[in-house]
């Protein structure tokens, strides 16, 4: 029956519910910010185009906390943008697409002096991830990463320029005038920010990593446990405990000695990793599982670098990459 079919128009979609479902947890129920930067501020809305909002939602900020929303339909994205715009009812700006002329080399030294304290050297963004607890409370906003492929693909030169000219009132982001930058200085800084697109080394993508790390050997489980214990100490980690897989599930003394787990950690690593992002706690302490089957012994660990995919946090990916190296070293030594 025709009258049961909903019309496929954007206005039919509820932008508010879509926003509340997908964005509010980070950007706040009415866009005043939280883990994510505020979206409701006039100083923000006056400068950003709908195209910038659309691309930011679609591309996210890879390696930062802002996710990419690929599963939303075009209509849903438009409905969210219309809802975000409804907070201010300002007409979106229009920029000419003529690229700016600026001197990136000169822009680099200006950036180092005027911007790096907040946005990080080379535009890596403010320290911390935006995740609550991983940053000082008195820092209400973390400066976004400007070398981020998601940001660079979404923002035009003219939009970056206007952001610098205006600053973002109501946030720590100062205007060019407050920073003592001339119009030419601004163009030079924009040229430098644009050049991040070609200079920033990309992290090797964690989604291409194997899910687990494994070595196979002929030695007994008992010997493998001893080897892992020695290797753990050798890389300056501390042994926490060794346990059989079914320990606690069967009466004492009847555990299956062909299946064991060695738990270990290192205080500095634990402390640093949790400071970067407390969610890493779900993989700690470190562990290696040893199983004997069909006349061979397998030593296995979850690949921390692959697991870092779910965090979308490049700082953590770096830490997990280091951890992967340590696991590989332990597995190598222990399987000899």
**Of 254, 244, 280, 298, nearest to 129 (Cα)?**
280
313 vs 293: CA distance, rounded Å: 37
270 vs 267: CA distance, rounded Å: 5
The stretch among 66-74, 96-104, 293-301, 321-329 that binds ligand HEC (CB under 6 A) is: 66-74
Instruction: Please give the full DSSP string across 18-75, using - where no structure is assigned.
Output: HHHHHTHHHH-TTS--SSSPPS--HHHHTT--HHHHHHHHHH--TTSS-----SS-HH
* 134 part of the interface to ligand HEC, by CB under 6 A: no
7 vs 180: CA distance, rounded Å: 53
**Of 234, 235, 214, nearest to 303 (Cα)?**
214
* 128 part of the interface to ligand HEC, by CB under 6 A: no
HSE (side-chain half, CA atoms, 13 Å) at 114: 25
Footprint of ligand HEC on 92-121 (CB under 6 A) = 114-115, 117-119
* 13 part of the interface to ligand HEC, by CB under 6 A: no
* 59 part of the interface to ligand HEC, by CB under 6 A: no
* 168 part of the interface to ligand HEC, by CB under 6 A: yes
Sheet strand arrangement including 212-217: 212-217, 296-302, 286-293, 259-265, 238-244
Footprint of ligand HEC on 239-258 (CB under 6 A) = none
Footprint of ligand HEC on 16-55 (CB under 6 A) = 22-23, 25-27, 35-39, 44, 53
**Of 39, 36, 54, nearest to 168 (Cα)?**
39
Of 20 and 322, nearer to ligand HEC (C-beta) is 20
* 290 part of the interface to ligand HEC, by CB under 6 A: no
**Is cis: bond before 214, omega within 30 of 0?**
no
* 152 part of the interface to ligand HEC, by CB under 6 A: no
Question: Cβ–Cβ contacts within 10 Å for residue 237, how many?
Answer: 20
* 82 part of the interface to ligand HEC, by CB under 6 A: no
Q: How far is the CB of 50 from ligand HEC (least distance, A)?
A: 10
Q: How far is the CB of 36 from ligand HEC (least distance, A)?
A: 3
Compute the Cα dihedral for 38, 44, 45, 49 and give only its sign.
negative
Footprint of ligand HEC on 192-231 (CB under 6 A) = 193
Question: Using CB under 6 A, which of 59, 79, 80, 280 touches ligand HEC?
Answer: 80
* 334 part of the interface to ligand HEC, by CB under 6 A: no
Residues that bind ligand HEC (CB under 6 A): 22-23, 25-27, 35-39, 44, 53, 56-57, 61, 64-67, 69, 80, 114-115, 117-119, 125, 130, 141-146, 148, 151, 160, 163-164, 168, 171-174, 179, 189, 193
């Amino acid at each position: 029956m025709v009258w049961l079919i909903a019309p496929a128009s954007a206005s039919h979609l509820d932008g508010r519910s879509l926003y509340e479902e997908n964005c509010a947890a980070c950007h706040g129920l009415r866009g005043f910010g939280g883990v994510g930067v505020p979206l409701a501020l006039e100083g923000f809305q006056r400068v950003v185009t709908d195209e910038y909002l659309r691309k930011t939602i679609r591309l996210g900020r890879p390696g930062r906390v802002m996710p990419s929303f690929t599963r939303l339909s075009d209509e849903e994205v438009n409905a969210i943008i219309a809802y975000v715009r409804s907070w201010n009812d300002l007409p979106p700006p229009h920029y000419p697409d003529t690229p700016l002329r600026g001197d990136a080399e000169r822009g680099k030294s200006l950036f180092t002096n005027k911007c790096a304290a907040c946005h990080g050297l080379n535009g890596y963004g403010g320290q911390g991830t935006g995740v609550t607890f991983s940053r000082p409370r008195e820092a209400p906003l973390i400066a976004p990463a400007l070398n981020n492929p998601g940001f660079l693909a979404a923002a035009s030169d003219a939009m970056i320029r206007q952001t610098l000219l205006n600053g973002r009132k109501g946030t720590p982001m100062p205007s060019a005038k407050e920073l003592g930058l001339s119009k030419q200085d601004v163009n030079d800084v924009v040229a430098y920010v644009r050049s991040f697109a070609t200079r920033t080394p990309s992290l090797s993508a964690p989604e291409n990593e194997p899910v687990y790390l494994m070595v196979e050997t002929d030695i007994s489980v008992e010997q493998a446990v001893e080897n892992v214990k020695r290797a753990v100490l050798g890389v300056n980690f501390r042994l926490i405990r060794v346990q059989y897989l079914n320990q606690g599930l069967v009466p004492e003394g009847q555990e299956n000695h062909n299946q064991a787990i060695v738990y270990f950690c290192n205080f500095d690593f634990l402390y640093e990793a949790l400071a970067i992002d407390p969610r890493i706690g779900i993989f700690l302490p470190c562990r290696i599982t040893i199983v004997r089957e069909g006349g061979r012994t397998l030593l296995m660990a979850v690949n921390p670098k692959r697991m870092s995919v779910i965090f979308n946090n490049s700082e953590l990916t770096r830490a997990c990459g280091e951890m992967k190296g340590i696991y590989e070293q332990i597995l190598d030594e222990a399987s000899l």
